[in-house]
Amino acid sequence: MFVNKDILTIVSRKSRLALKQADLVKQQLNIFYPQLKIEIIGISTSGDEILDQPLMKIGGKGLFVNELEKYLLQNKADMAVHSMKDLPASLADGLIVTAILPRADSRDVLVSIDFASINQLPPGSIVGTSSLRRQAQLLAIRPDISITSLRGNVDTRLEYLISGKYSAIILAAAGLERLGLTTWIKHTFTWQEMLPAVGQGALGIEIKADNTQLQELLRPLHDWQTAACVQAERAMNAILDGGCQAPIAGFASIKNQLITLRGLVAEPDGKIMLRAVQSSALENIMELGRRVADDLLAQGAAKIISKLKTEWQGNGW
């Protein structure tokens, strides 16, 4: 092993979950390189600080990423750890995701104090989520419940639940697992009930593209199967071009040397759910993403996405 400095630095959002995820990368690196000194720098991004407005209004999920990327470009840090579901379709010039760790549970979960499943919620119950993807799929199951926007880190969201503001909230299983909070989970949604966000459950390490030494150093952490699945999902998402908050879902899996990609585009009220699923050989990942996207577009996905974009612009977003 060779790195041209005494300490490697990881920049991360400073939420408890983000720091935990950065520490997971640090732990994995120290398994392969026990003598390597690694420091984690936690910063607060605009996306973490502005909680009283929808993400689509203030700039989308890129707000969680842009300021971390600046640290890399300005040589203030060597790498950034991201939830792959937060990464926009395009990275800043000069940066690459060089390693994707093995995927954790990609599914969404119902968290509630009083109710064990979505079907136990009384009519009119208030469920918290800031995701149109989750909203649409929830309303497809239970059109009689009420969805209210919920933002903030995991601990903040749990505090809102405890206060009685919500009957239930929807979170990612992976985040609760990483924080040791799985006892909060009342129901884990199947992929048929709620298809995950593109990249959900996967962690990626972003670095400067010209840092070949660091690319080599991080190679042992890279999981090719997770990377292939995330690549297919992101290829589909890039073609659909729905932005940060469009109700788009995608999940790929590998079995018997075939990769299968499931995609979904929905109306926010859940009344229209467009679905597509296709499989291909592993060497045709990008083509698979394109085919699934084209299938959804042929069903009318462009109309749904365009309508949402028009509404956002009409509201000055």
CATH number at residue 294: 3.30.160.40
Rounded Cα distance, 291 and 235, in Å: 10
Residue 15 lies in a domain: yes
pLDDT digits (tens, 9 = 90+) for 34-80: 999 999 999 987 555 554 444 455 445 566 798 999 999 999 999 99
pLDDT of residue 16 exceeding 80: yes
Give the distance from CA 19 to its chain's centroid: 16
> Under DSSP, is residue 101 helix (H, G, I), strand (E, B) or coil?
coil
Residue 245 lies in a domain: yes
pLDDT given for residue 4 in this prediction:
60
DSSP character string of 285-316: HHHHHHHHHHHHHHHTHHHHHHHHHHHHHHTT
Q: pTM of this prediction?
A: 0.91
pLDDT digits (tens, 9 = 90+) for 228-277: 999 999 999 999 987 666 899 999 999 999 999 999 999 999 999 999 99
- Selected catalytic residue, list 48, 78, 86, 108: 86
Rounded Cα distance, 242 and 96, in Å: 22
Average pLDDT, the chain: 91
Answer yes or no: do 206 and 71 share one domain.
Answer: yes
Instruction: Give yes or no for a contact between 226 and 202, defined as CB atoms under 8 angstroms apart.
Output: yes
Residue 227 lies in a domain: no
pLDDT digits (tens, 9 = 90+) for 91-142: 999 999 999 999 999 999 999 999 999 999 999 999 999 899 999 999 999 9
Is 86 among the residues known to form the active site? yes
pLDDT of residue 196 exceeding 80: yes
pLDDT given for residue 295 in this prediction:
98
Answer yes or no: do 34 and 67 share one domain.
Answer: yes
Structural domains counted in the chain: 3
Closest listed residue to residue 201, CA positions, set 144, 249, 270, 151: 249
288 lies in which domain range?
A: 236-314
pLDDT given for residue 2 in this prediction:
47
The residue type of 152 is G
**Tokens representing 195?**
């298809």
Residue 194 lies in a domain: no
Q: In what order do the strands lie in the sheet with 248-255?
A: 248-255, 258-266, 273-281
In terms of DSSP bridges, do strands 185-188 and 108-111 run parallel, antiparallel, or are they unpaired? antiparallel
Average pLDDT in the 160-187 region?
A: 97
Answer yes or no: do 21 and 96 share one domain.
Answer: yes
Answer yes or no: do 303 and 241 share one domain.
Answer: yes
Residue 172 lies in a domain: yes
